[in-house]
Structure 1
Amino acid sequence: MRLVQLRLSHFRGYKEETSVDLDDLVVLIGKNDSGKSSLLDAMNIFLNDLVPEQDDRCVHATDQKVDITCVFDDLPSQIVIDEQYPTDLASEYLLDQSGRFVAKKVFTCTGTGKVKAATVYALAYHPTADKYDDLLTLTNAKLKQRAKDLSVDLKTVNQTINTSLRRAIWNHAADLERQQIEIELKSEAAERIWEQLRKHFPVFALFKSDRPSTDQDSEAQDPLKLAIKEAIKSQEDTLNIIAQRVKQEVQSIANKTVEKIAEMNPELARELTPRVTNKNWDSLFSVSLTGDNDIPINKRGSGTRRLVLLNFFRAQAEKDAEGKASNIIYAIEEPETSQHPHNQRLLVDAIQDLASNDGCQVILTTHTPVLARSFPQSSLRFVTQRNGWPDIHSGHDEGTLTEITASLGVLPDHGIKAFWGVEGRHDITFLKEISRILNQAGESVPDLEEAEEDGRLVFVPLGGSNLDLWVSRLKGFNRPEFYLMDRDTEPPASPKYQPIATQLSQRSNCTAWITKKREIENYIHPDVIKAECPSYSGAGHAFEDVPVLLAKALHEASDTTQTWADLQANQEKLGKKVSNAKRRLCGHFTLKMTPQYLTQIDPDNEVRLWLQTLGQALSATE
């Protein structure tokens, strides 16, 4: 199950119900104390079955309740609630009108310092017609009686299965009068549904910004504990057999002990009932890290400690990407804290890679412009205050980026020499790596990584609707602007972005290029790829779809459960496979390029021209 929306009311600063839409990657941006951390804490309370504190209730609320609602998609196709008889949420009318499962937890704050455990509701498009609205609350006997009262034909229905009885009764209705209502999940059937769904909820790992950074902190241990749980899960059957054998032997001894007691004191023996319990397997393991000379991580610098701990998240994600759907939400507060700008940029790439893995969502908070400009606009959520209350604007909405830039600014104040707008972060990786290779070979091109680190160059990932907004923001800086766009279309068709490139080129101090090949990945020599992936079928043609060809080769080499043709029917999974292929092409395979390989694949020297032209701007004096 994937969390797609969070709704809050009466929680901390959120008096009225406020919602935030979530995706695989969400970046919560806003000033300090705007309400970003409260959103993460609310998710943590809901998904980890915690109870808020008394002080978490909004002091301006008129009642004593705190409401936290989570909306999910990617739902399990089946759940079992009646004697191994499968049903689904749609058949039980527990989905909203959009086909999503909406769960609401209501906590009651008594005013005595205690907060009652949550009452759970499903907000669903459910039958409200008389005698059809309460079927989830009825026992088997009462369902049979209700069917009899309504003259429902049960001849072909298995009457021992409540799910079958409910379905037959609902199908009998002329009009169920379905409406969006709250259904308290307290009946036997509803509780079983809830317990089944909880097994599919995302695991929520929260990395907070205001805790000491040691490898034994709870936020550091969360991803490690997840790794332990995954390892244990893979051996679960074997461990359960061992546990059962141990329990049987201990139970036998306990039973004999009671028998012996009975021989001496029958009354005492009657009061004793042997019960054998065991702890969860994951409680038996712990993890710590030491550096050179066995120096613990908590003795290192704050930036190093935090960087190491953040990379626990990366390590877990890479393990998930090997084929196990982890279904984890990584929530990271202010990943930029204590980090050098170089590490901040590396973290941005790592975080976006993490979010591209199946079963992973990443939710960040930040209030720095450096990170704000590094993520796609669609991932941004601007948390601000309006009339004294938190207000959340989606990056999908027109004008949100303008609000962000007005509030935070978009660029640090330093000696920028040039801006380079590209379509995405993988393009940036390719350009940095190929420039380093050529620079180290003695060619007259700049090292773009070095230029970015010393503040002369700012990369701008433009993706989609960001372009117009970024171009308008950059005008006022009076610095050279360079734009690189993929051609995408094969001649004789015109390049996809030709109108935009023409418009940009007419501006002063602005240069726009369109690749002669399909896209940036077509400038990677196929021999480099085939050296590690022999089944790769690319031949270096200018308009072959290199990422798709590599994704296909990698998939067929590693996944024997699903054919490539079947995968193509699932656009979401296909998109992630292709995105991961782009990441590997522009990162891993570009590292293996040489000046000779580049000359062979790029006889027109397009790449060198881009770099040399930019180099002139970077070396220009004021």
Structure 2
Amino acid sequence: MKIVQVRVANFRGIAQGTVHFDGHSVLVGDNNAGKSTLLEAIDLVLGPERLSRRPVVDEHDFYAGQYVNAEGQPIPLVVEVIVADLNEEQLRHFREHLEWWDTSTKTLLAGPPVEGTDAAGVGPALRVFFRGAYDAEEDDFLGNTFFALPAPIGAGEYQTFRATDKRKCGFLYLRTVRTGSRALSLERGSLLDVILRLQDSRLKMWEQLLASLRVLPVADKPELGVTTLLASVQASVKKFVPSDWAEDPHMRVSDLTRETLRRTLTVFMGTGAKRPDGSSYAAPYQHQGTGTINTLVLALLSIIAELKQNVIFAMEEPETALPPHTQKRIVNSVREKSAQALFTSHSPYVLEEFEPSQIKVLKRAGGVMTAIPASLPPAIKPKAYKAEFRARFCEALLAKYVLIVEGRTEFDALPAAARTLSKTDPQHFKSLEALGVAVIDAKTDSQVAPLGQFFRSLGKTVFAIFDKQNEAQLALIRAAVDYPYESPMKGFESLVLQGAQETAIRRYALGVVADGDWPQHLMAVAPKAESDLAALRNALSQYFAWGKGSGQAADLLASCTSWREMPEYIAQCLYGIFQVIEPPPPPAPPAPPVEPIVD
């Protein structure tokens, strides 16, 4: 079973939106783009325990808090989910509610089953939905889940999609907060509780445990003072009520109900620390390291997957507090053990494990949410993507702003220059990392425009810094990116050497020689203290050509002590990017003239 379509209306920050899934997927986008909201919406429909909360929804679950219109009529909150690829057991269980899904058109076949159901890519599917609304008569928010078919007759109601039906779908939503607070508890809906339910294990410990706790002494020694205080309370109470009221007040460890114990019982685990007597010290599992907790969650998910055999996992940010190799292992393990895995992530290491078409870039504008599959970038062959471009592409997908440069030298040098300027003049400059700008190397100026158009289509704000172009190529770039910055000359290394101040060039060149990094085959032109500016530029030009792509131009820019030592073009570009992303506040209006006070 796999989710193929989710349609949301009037839920939290989403006024309306439809998202399609083709299997395993990872959701990316700006903060508040709707990634977590989309998973919450799916859980509202498919989560077996979700409707047990009271109230099911509240005022803040409706878009902009609007749950009634101007006439006082309720505005419904609706989430519809279509699932396909049903197994034999699911086909039998849901046989009265099936429709037909066409994977090529991403639509349901209209009308009753016809010959089109035999076409390639068409198969049975289940459409279910949640509907919530404000009930003025009850002065409460009500909601439930239903099968879309069969449609009700007359004033009838849709058939309820019950918790037992949902368990057949095998959907499990793992929120980030659940990892540390509920994973190994016995609360209803926790991972441990899910496993016990799947094993049809009825916990038979409650009566025995409650009987033990009822007689467990708690602060019953008089010298502790608690029993004396309670006796005084009882004596005071008996002045106002019959003698058999408030009889024998004493303390117990909890309310002594099953639900209280479900929330209270905690799994303890060894910490590796030893007590003075040599015994191992154990602590509650939520006090373990975050990485250990997440690994425990992965183990529980593996057990669930093995028990369910057909499970849909939705997981928020699997990268939390984990090193890159563990992030990759968790993602791959969850995918291997599930029919479908849906993730949200801000980690390029997680995104690297997915094909571009499996990465959904979410955007939300005016309450309308859209999802765009991140197809392979233009002119990037699959082999090259896997070998070198993948990490940078994934980083750009996670960023709101993208800077396209046309070579490796610029890729290294511009971030270095921005970092230096942010330290020397923080009022007018900021590092590209701090601004949230991802840098993409287009390799050649002919790819600046195609890449710019590609990233703009994904909703990114695109900057481009590039060599001087002919009129035709410049027009293409200007049409493709939001903020083009054309160099006054060809060749970035030449621009650096011609534009940097002599003090910076001399300091850097003599430093390379002093550090012993000057290559032997260029000793004839090695910079010296008495070298003039032309000789220094000539020497460094040969040095840059010898170490092309090794970051020497970036080192020169990083050695500058202020923007005045850098090429004016580079400083203007970086200042322009800073002004676009963090524009200064508008000037305050002039103060009104003060009228003189006349007696």
Q: If the length of structure 1 is used for normalisation, what is the TM-score?
A: 0.42
